[in-house]
Amino acid sequence: MLGVAVFATGTGPRPGGRAWDLFYDLVVYHVPWVAAGAACWLTARTAPREAVAWRAMATSLLVGAVGNVARIVETGQAGTTPSPVADACVAVAYGSLYVALFVLIRARVTRFLPSMWLDGVVGALGASAVGAGFLLGPYLTGDGQVSVMQVAWPAADVLLLALLAGVGAILGVHLDRTLVLAGGAVALFCVADAALFALSVADRYTDGGPLELLWLAGVLCAAVAAQRTTGDPRPREDDGGVRITWRLVALPLAGTLAALAVLAAGYGDQLPSTAGWLAVGCVLAALARTAVTFREVSSFATVRQEARTDELTELPNRRALLETARSVVAAATTARPAALLLLDLDGFKEVNDSLGHGAGDELLRQVGPRLAPALRPGEVLARLGGDEFAVLLPAADLDTAAERAGVVHDLLRQPFAVDGIRLHVGVSIGVSTAPVPADDVQELLRCADVAMYAAKTERTGVHVYVPDPSSGSGERLRTMEELRTALVRDELDVHLQPQVAMDDGRVVGVEALLRWHHPVRGLVGPAQVLPAAEQAGLLRPLTDTVLERSLDAVARWWDDHGVPVSVNLSAANVADLDLPRKVAEKLARRGLPAAALTLELVEDTLMADPERGRTVLGELRRLGVRTSIDDYGTGYSSLAYLRRLPADELKLDRSLTCDVADDERAAAIVRHTVALAHDLGLSLVAEGVEDVVTARRLAELGCDVAQGYAVARPMPVGDLLRWLAAERLPLVPTV
């Protein structure tokens, strides 16, 4: 920029003398060329995908500068005076510009579609026709005709302008900053060359005039383009072959109009034949582009239809239903509601299992024709996936929708003929309406889904969704999402409930019980958390968090009291073969022995993969971690599991201990369970010990450990530390 500013001072009167002219024309004028070439060459190092383009641009600038100097030195002036060295340099500079533009385009377009090539051809031919007809035409015909060598460089400029027009057509006039600046540089070079040619032919060109500023402006554009390029461009996204935007037709349309203008102006042989043939080629390319456009639009329509159609049943798919439902729900009012019927076939799995998937597919294909006669204009039957279908009713209140659901139910209850077999399948239908209770499409689907599962559970066939604040379904969904956040925000903690020996009242353990410090609902217990965690698939991270909190707690009192902590395991944890290693690392990190931890599990936890579970528990016992079977007596395979499971203790469920003081049958069960446990070398913990009378009776029956409100309620870690330090009387006083 400094070089351009200094040279601009010499475009008017200069200090006298040949030396000053040479200083301006040889030194000052070429400083920007060299600086811009260096900038382009350095940019190639930071933009690998465009490296060839920037090196080519640098070559064009530097070689062009060498050609200018050679022409001045050899002929004594610039302009178009013939010079073998200068002309060779100009040829190299033009070739380098072509390479630079091509590589810049290629870095931005990963795949050239036929329509893109044709757009480029139309733009290039249109620009060439204009250039040959209006810019060069006066010099190719008539009295002003010049030699081929004189018109060679302007012709190369016309081709460069045509290339720029083709670039714009290919990219849909959606040029990025770098390409705009580089293209601007090329355009300025072309304009300056054309002006130089016209002035030279008219013998009016003089060195050092304002025209040189046009070339320097192009040099500045190239330098800024290189300076502003910070990395490789992001290739333009391919949309699958169809490009829809007004920018895509702007330059091809302009090229076509320009070609028509050339043909009109050339009527009567006023323009050279070359321009006419270029214009004819442009029009023919435009016609070919029209044919390609028709084919692309047809292909796009086909693809769009396929994307909205279920391949198996040829019904609208979920996407098509959602698109239509959005407009229907948006237009629904309380005076003119809309409704959705969600259908799920009953017994479809049995059809697949017994007759094969081919029969199942044939059954699904028959659903559409079966229901088609019952549909009214504007109503949509769609397959959502599997054996789920939906019927969108744009104008139906709750009663009407329920009535239509009954019709659909009766139609689908009629037998289907599949592979020569009459099949009867049931259907469960959920009905929901908009704008009440659902005010958007997702809520409409959710309400219909809740109603459909209610119909399936209650076997009613059709169930209408009516909001029920006490149902808890929405609350459970909200709890699931909030629980994910709670795991991240460290809102989960444990409360600890002591376990004491029946004989002397010493504390032999504590059980860690999950507590959630909810920001709105306060302290939430496991009864609300665990079902939501299981449904959301969060049991494993939840258990890991409880284990971490429990070991942090026991580390605070282990050196003083040596009381272990018990943590419940989920099925996901028991099936984790890496669990023993994780437990060992957690204990070692806190400096705790394995005896500081007891892991509890219920019988059902091992039902999914008993062998894997026994392997994990065996590894834990080899580490020295005690294991406990929780809620004993509530499962179906208690004795079988006692025989095979590596366990250290049994925990009697409160359902067996709460009435033991008054119910002899319960007492008999406890007595024999105690004997069985002791014979197997297991200690027995009685849960749900709420009072001293129950505790005394359980002690008489041989229970080893008591846990319950009669001992203490669950408490935070700080309260437990004070409770452990306090003096207490035995739960069952000795006589």
Q: What is the pLDDT of residue 244?
A: 46
Residues 711, 703 contacting (CB under 8 angstroms): no
C-alpha distances in Å from residue 5, one per residue of 23, 182, 212, 228, 296? 15, 21, 12, 21, 52
CA–CA separation, 450 and 614 (whole Å): 39
Note whether 604 and 513 are same-domain residues.
Answer: yes
Q: Is residue 258 in some structural domain?
A: yes
| pLDDT tens digits along 645-666 | 778 888 888 888 888 888 888 8
pLDDT, averaged across the chain? 79
Regarding predicted confidence, which is higher, 321 or 18?
A: 321
The one-letter amino acid at 720: L
In single-letter form, the type of residue at position 683 comes to S
Per-residue model confidence (pLDDT) at position 375: 92
> 389 and 287, same structural domain?
no
Element (H, E) at 453: helix 441-458
Asked whether the predicted pLDDT for residue 341 surpasses 90, the reply is yes
597 within domain boundaries: yes
| Tens digit of each residue's pLDDT (9 = 90 or more) over 674-710 | 998 898 888 999 998 988 888 989 999 999 999 998 8
Q: Is 333 part of a structural domain of the chain?
A: yes
Q: Ramachandran region of residue 76, left (φ > 0), alpha (ψ -120 to 50) or beta?
A: left
**Positive or negative CA dihedral for 69, 70, 72, 78?**
negative
E strands in 502-615: 507-518, 522-524, 565-568, 597-602
104-140 pLDDT, tens per residue? 777 776 555 666 656 666 666 666 666 655 555 565 5
Residues 438 and 488 placed together within one structural domain of the fold: no
Residue 162 belongs to a domain: no
Residues 6+ apart with CB under 8 A from 84: none
Compute the average pLDDT of residues 278-299: 70
Residue 2: which residues within 8 A CB-CB, separation 6 or more? none
- Residue 666's pLDDT is 86
Nearest-5° Cα angle at 669, 666 to 675: 140
| Residues 103 and 210 grouped into a single domain | yes
**Tokens representing residue 199 in the block:** 């002035």
Q: What percent of the chain has pLDDT over 90?
A: 22
- Phi-psi label, residue 565: left if phi above 0, alpha if psi -120 to 50, beta otherwise: beta
Q: Please check whether residues 583 and 689 belong to one and the same domain.
A: yes
Q: Among 464, 496, 521, which residue terminates a domain?
A: 464
Higher pLDDT, 379 or 15: 379
Enter the tokens of residue 144: 């002003």
Residue 451 buriedness (CB in 10 A; 0-12 / 13-18 / 19+): buried
Length of the chain: 735
In tens, the pLDDT along 527-572 reads 778 777 776 677 888 888 999 999 999 999 999 999 999 998 877 6
- What is the reported pTM? 0.43
Of 405, 436, 464, which closes a domain? Answer: 464
Indicate whether 491 belongs to any domain.
yes
pLDDT score for 114? 64
Q: Do the bridges between strand 649-652 and strand 683-686 make them parallel or antiparallel, or are there none, so unpaired? A: parallel
Label residue 202 by pLDDT band (50, 70, 90).
low
Whichever domain contains 398, its CATH number is 3.30.70.270
Is pLDDT of 143 > 60? no
Domain limit, last residue, from 417, 437, 464: 464
478 forms bridges with which residues in the sheet?
A: none
Residues 438 and 515 both lie in one domain: no
Distance, CA of 650 to CA of 467 (rounded, Å): 44
Whether 266 has a pLDDT exceeding 90, the answer reads no
Q: How many domains does the chain have?
A: 4
Cis amide prior to 435 (ω within 30 degrees)? yes
The domain that holds 579 is classified in CATH as 3.20.20.450
**pLDDT classification of 476: cutoffs 50, 70, 90:** low
Q: Distance (Å, rounded) from C-alpha 117 to C-alpha 728? A: 92
Q: Render pLDDT for 239-254 as a digit per residue (tens, 0 to 9).
A: 444 444 545 555 566 6
> Are residue 295 and residue 402 in the same domain, yes or no?
no
DSSP state for residue 134 in the 8-state scheme: I
User: First vs last Cα of the chain: how many Å apart?
Assistant: 106
Q: Are residues 119 and 200 in the same domain?
A: no
Residues 284 and 423 grouped into a single domain:
no
Judge contact between 445 and 410, C-beta under 8 A: no
Cβ contact 674:685 at 8 Å: no
pLDDT attached to residue 344: 92
3-state helix, strand, coil in the chain (%, to 5): 60, 15, 25
Q: Sign of dihedral through CA atoms 207, 212, 213, 216? A: negative
- Looking at per-residue pLDDT, the higher value among 332 and 470 belongs to 332
The verdict on whether omega for the bond into residue 437 sits within 30 degrees of 0, i.e. cis, is: yes
For residues 439 and 337, state if they share a domain. Answer: yes
Residue 479 pLDDT = 72
Phi and psi based region of residue 526 (left: phi greater than 0; alpha: psi -120 to 50; beta: remaining): alpha
Q: Is residue 168 one of the residues assigned to a domain?
A: no
Cα–Cα distance, 161 to 159 (Å, whole number): 5
Instruction: Give Cα 272 distance to the centre of its chain.
Output: 58
* More reliable by pLDDT, 231 or 281: 281
507, 554 contact by CB (below 8 A): no
> Which structural domain, as residue segments, surrounds residue 303?
113-145+240-307
Higher-pLDDT residue of 219, 189: 219
pLDDT band at 362 (very low <50, low <70, confident <90, very high): very high
Let me know if residue 164 belongs to a domain. no
The b-or-e profile of 409-444 (16+ CB within 10 A means b, else e) is beebeeebebeeeebebebbbbbbbbbeebeebeeb
Specify whether 649 is located in the same domain as 687.
yes
Give the pLDDT band (50/70/90) at residue 420: confident
> How many Å apart are CA 397 and CA 174, to the nearest integer?
49
Within a domain: 557: yes
DSSP strand pairing (492-501 vs 705-706): antiparallel
Same domain, 505 and 599: yes
Cβ-based neighbours of 141, under 8 Å, separated by 6 or more:
271, 272
